């Protein structure tokens, strides 16, 4: 087989049984790879009402047909399972870079599915065709770096790639993440906690096989051309210099992001001189890091030379980590924030949900909804970085009030009561990132309909940002068709006009899914657009020998989005959860260029109607129609959704 490995590993951790299954070509053509393969398993092999910590929850690691090739930025892995973090426990997944994914391809596999629960701490060791489960008791309790170093020494080869959890995953912190290659995190939706629930500490991989390419000469030429295009993008040059913080600098600089003080103000005022990417570059950047085959290398390696945190060095921070532990919690103080990012990576905590939990507590504390009687004597004051560092330890160890915050902000709010859930910016239990839903309405719609809870990485409507209009006008016209004129003429207010966003949101989610299925990073094709769906499709065809059109590839993406949506629908989650908290409809942005911006409920509902229409989803429930499921080859999904649809309507 060319492109794909054509095999996957299935592990039953309860019995210790390991099988290698063939993946038929028809199945691979239907789901492509990585996120596509995983999402099919998560729907098919989990059931309605499943506890994500039950042994039956299928935990999948997937790579794509371009993983491990010369295709640019082809080091991504998707990890999927039912999420312990979201409400209800719907589809969860996370996507991580590094070098682990390509190594799995070199070992000869497209996917790993793990079920069951080991009777003691265990790790999986894949050495080409030799696959075994090993005792990890001596690793339990170690942080991600200690684990990686100990396993590297134990297995005796520095080229072995290791993905693992830290103590937070072992203690089932609901937003525990997975770390690979020391500091590449699969952050969101609690996949690290799912690993912990299975007593699975790590997966080590070493591969020595080739990835076969169907048309190598043309493939190589196309990769070269793709790299030239990526290199010419102004964003790439800036990201190489500043890292992902440059995204924050820009978005916050024009009043769109920052999540300042738990998303209350719309953006973080006066932050640039203290906390921006340029400040990091000048004061703390030791070197740049890249994932496998990446011409961008957005990764940072930080070294703090002086002050209370002198000597701290680690891989990071990336933008959302810094933003959610920094301005979201009311601080612009780089050094303690970087220490927090480092600790979260070592403990295996999602930095976004960690920041969200603490900023919720600070917001409640300021408003008198949470007192020291609730927190065990801890004052949650905006910007108190000493306390934050201690609280992160408490969350990881589930100590005192940290045990409550380890449940995630929304569950903590439900436990505390007093209407504190109104102060949790989230959709489906997963907290927002730093972009403000009132001002970036394409993202806003994306947060609400995302198939893993609130998130920007499923529906990246990046064409709505003002700079994109100059750079990618041709693409905007192609995507929006007859709506393009209104969109372009309205700029920069196109950001707050939600009317054109359903079309943009749907296109963006399908465009992004192509990269996820192929095992590519989103930056070159879904954050900015030197590569388009037709380019990714061409790379896919040249690697696999297939002859798929980009329209067909977009429909395969739609299949994946629909099955992920169906996993939610089966839990009773549909239109009832495609909304934001009241704050975004009631509290206008306080300052800056978009002062006064607020979501309009009528326009919101209309946008949801239109988004459903474009998907052929039922307007009343937000479930995919039987017709569209059948058209996408998802008859088995349609059958299961019938019961859920009736239950949904009955409750309504």
Residues near another protein (CB under 8 A) are 228-229, 232-239, 241-242, 246-247, 249-251, 253-254, 272-273, 277-278, 462-463, 465-474, 491-492, 527-530, 593
Nearest C-alpha neighbor of 155 from the set 123, 182, 116: 123
Upstream peptide bond of 492 is cis (omega within 30 degrees of 0):
yes
CA distances from 558 to 451, 508, 510, 628 (A): 12, 11, 6, 10
Of 109 and 447, nearer to another protein (C-beta) is 447
Compute the distance between CA of residue 456 and CA of residue 479 in angstroms, rounded to an integer. 19
Which string of DSSP letters, residue by residue, matches 422-454?
GG--EETTEEP-SB-TTT-HHHHHHHHH-BTBS
Of 225 and 419, nearer to another protein (C-beta) is 225
Compute the distance between CA of residue 264 and CA of residue 545 in angstroms, rounded to an integer. 51
Of 283 and 555, nearer to another protein (C-beta) is 283
Compute the distance between CA of residue 134 and CA of residue 122 in angstroms, rounded to an integer. 5
Residue 479 CB, nearest approach to another protein (Å)? 12
- Where b means 16+ CB within 10 Å and e means fewer, 97-131 reads bbbbbbbbbbbbbbbbbbbbbbeebbbbbbbeeeb
Residue 251 CB, nearest approach to another protein (Å)? 6
Residue 34 CB, nearest approach to another protein (Å)? 23
Residue 474 CB, nearest approach to another protein (Å)? 8
Residue 530 CB, nearest approach to another protein (Å)? 7
Burial of 166 (0-12, 13-18, 19+ CB in 10 A): buried
Compute the distance between CA of residue 195 and CA of residue 313 in angstroms, rounded to an integer. 27
Residue 232 CB, nearest approach to another protein (Å)? 4
Of 121 and 255, nearer to another protein (C-beta) is 255
Query: Is there a contact between 55 and 198 (Cβ–Cβ < 8 Å)?
Result: yes
Of 155 and 238, nearer to another protein (C-beta) is 238
Tokens of 20: 């290698």
Residue 229 CB, nearest approach to another protein (Å)? 5
Residue 492 CB, nearest approach to another protein (Å)? 4
Query: Is there a contact between 112 and 9 (Cβ–Cβ < 8 Å)?
Result: yes
Nearest C-alpha neighbor of 346 from the set 408, 389, 386: 389
What's the half-sphere exposure (Cβ side, CA atoms, 13 Å) at 249? 20
Of 83 and 324, nearer to another protein (C-beta) is 324
Query: Is there a contact between 430 and 92 (Cβ–Cβ < 8 Å)?
Result: no
Upstream peptide bond of 176 is cis (omega within 30 degrees of 0):
no
Compute the distance between CA of residue 281 and CA of residue 302 in angstroms, rounded to an integer. 9
Burial of 518 (0-12, 13-18, 19+ CB in 10 A): buried
Neighbours of 628 (CB within 10 A): 17
Residue 467 CB, nearest approach to another protein (Å)? 3
Residue 285 CB, nearest approach to another protein (Å)? 13
Of 278 and 548, nearer to another protein (C-beta) is 278
- Where b means 16+ CB within 10 Å and e means fewer, 393-414 reads ebbbbbebbbbbbbbbbbbbbe
Residue 54 CB, nearest approach to another protein (Å)? 39
Residue 264 CB, nearest approach to another protein (Å)? 22
Of 106 and 528, nearer to another protein (C-beta) is 528
User: DSSP label at 527?
Assistant: I
Residue 488 CB, nearest approach to another protein (Å)? 10
Neighbours of 51 (CB within 10 A): 12
Tokens of 353: 């949900």
Of 234 and 633, nearer to another protein (C-beta) is 234
Of 161 and 496, nearer to another protein (C-beta) is 496
Residue 278 CB, nearest approach to another protein (Å)? 6
Nearest C-alpha neighbor of 259 from the set 65, 460, 426, 500: 426
The strand pairing partners of 132, in sequence order, are 125
Of 246 and 406, nearer to another protein (C-beta) is 246
Residue 457 CB, nearest approach to another protein (Å)? 13
Of 236 and 543, nearer to another protein (C-beta) is 236
The strand pairing partners of 112, in sequence order, are 9, 61
Query: Is there a contact between 169 and 185 (Cβ–Cβ < 8 Å)?
Result: no
Query: Is there a contact between 206 and 127 (Cβ–Cβ < 8 Å)?
Result: yes
Name every residue whose Cβ is closer than 8 Å to that of residue 6 and which is 6 or more positions away in sequence.
22, 23, 25, 28, 110
Of 371 and 473, nearer to another protein (C-beta) is 473
Query: Is there a contact between 112 and 123 (Cβ–Cβ < 8 Å)?
Result: no
Neighbours of 247 (CB within 10 A): 26
Of 149 and 281, nearer to another protein (C-beta) is 281
Of 400 and 467, nearer to another protein (C-beta) is 467
């Amino acid at each position: 087989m060319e492109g794909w490995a054509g095999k996957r590993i299935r592990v039953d951790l309860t019995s210790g049984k390991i099988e290698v299954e063939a993946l038929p070509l028809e199945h691979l053509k239907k789901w492509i790879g990585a996120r596509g393969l995983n999402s099919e398993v998560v729907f098919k092999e989990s059931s309605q009402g499943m506890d994500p910590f039950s042994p039956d929850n299928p935990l999948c690691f997937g790579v794509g047909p371009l993983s491990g090739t010369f295709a640019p930025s082809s080091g991504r892995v998707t990890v999927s399972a039912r999420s312990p973090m979201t409400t209800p426990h719907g589809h969860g997944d996370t996507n991580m870079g590094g070098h682990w994914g390509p190594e799995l391809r070199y070992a000869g596999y497209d996917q790993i599915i793990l079920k069951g629960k080991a009777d003691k701490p265990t790790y999986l060791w894949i050495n080409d065709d030799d696959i075994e489960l090993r005792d990890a008791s001596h690793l339990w309790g170690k942080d991600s770096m200690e684990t990686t170093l100990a396993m590297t020494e134990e297995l005796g080869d520095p080229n072995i790639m290791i993905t693992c959890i830290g103590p937070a995953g072992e203690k089932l912190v609901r937003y525990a993440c997975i770390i690979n290659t020391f500091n590449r995190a699969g952050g969101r939706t609690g996949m690290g906690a799912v690993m912990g629930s299975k007593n699975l500490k790590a997966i080590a991989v070493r591969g020595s096989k080739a990835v076969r390419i169907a048309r190598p000469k043309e493939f190589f030429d196309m990769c070269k051309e793709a790299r030239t295009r990526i290199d010419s993008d102004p964003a790439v040059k800036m990201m190489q210099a500043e890292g992902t913080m440059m995204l924050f600098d820009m978005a916050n600089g024009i009043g769109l992001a920052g999540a300042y003080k738990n998303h209350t103000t719309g953006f973080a005022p006066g932050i640039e001189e203290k906390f921006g990417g340029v400040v990091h570059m000048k004061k703390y950047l030791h070197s740049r890091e890249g994932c496998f085959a990446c011409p961008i290398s957005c990764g940072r390696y930080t070294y703090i030379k002086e002050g209370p945190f002198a000597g701290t060095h680690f891989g990071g921070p990336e933008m959302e980590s810094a933003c959610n532990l920094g301005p979201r919690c009311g601080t612009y103080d780089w050094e303690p924030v970087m220490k927090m990012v480092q600790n979260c990576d070592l403990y295996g905590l999602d930095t976004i949900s960690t920041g969200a939990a603490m900023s919720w507590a600070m917001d409640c504390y300021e408003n008198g909804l949470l007192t020291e009687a609730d927190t065990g004597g801890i004052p949650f004051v905006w910007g108190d970085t000493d306390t934050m560092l201690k609280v992160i330890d408490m969350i990881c160890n589930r100590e005192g009030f940290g045990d409550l915050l380890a449940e995630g902000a929304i569950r903590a709010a439900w436990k505390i009561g007093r209407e504190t859930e109104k102060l949790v910016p989230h959709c489906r239990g997963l907290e927002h990132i730093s972009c403000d839903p009132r001002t970036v309405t394409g993202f806003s719609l994306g947060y609400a309909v995302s198939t893993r809870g609130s998130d920007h990485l499923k529906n990246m409507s990046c064409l709505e940002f003002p700079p994109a209009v100059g750079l990618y006008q041709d693409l905007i016209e192609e995507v929006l068709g007859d709506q393009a004129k209104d969109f372009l003429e309205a700029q920069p207010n196109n950001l707050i006009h939600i009317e054109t966003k359903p079309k943009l949101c749907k296109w963006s989610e399908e465009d992004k899914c192509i990269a996820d299925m192929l095992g590519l990073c989103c930056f070159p094709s879904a954050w900015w657009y030197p590569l388009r769906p037709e380019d990714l499709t061409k790379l896919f065809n040249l690697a696999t020998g297939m002859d798929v059109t980009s329209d067909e590839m977009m429909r395969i993406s739609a299949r994946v989005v629909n099955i992920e949506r169906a996993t939610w629908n089966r839990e009773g989650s549909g239109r009832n959860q495609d909304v934001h908290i009241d704050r975004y409809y009631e509290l206008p942005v306080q300052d800056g260029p978009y002062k006064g911006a607020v979501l309009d409920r009528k326009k919101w509902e209309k946008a949801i109607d239109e988004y459903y229409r474009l998907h052929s989803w039922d307007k009343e429930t937000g479930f995919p129609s039987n017709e569209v499921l059948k058209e996408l080859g998802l008859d088995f999904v349609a059958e299961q959704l019938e019961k859920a649809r009736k239950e949904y309507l009955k409750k309504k």
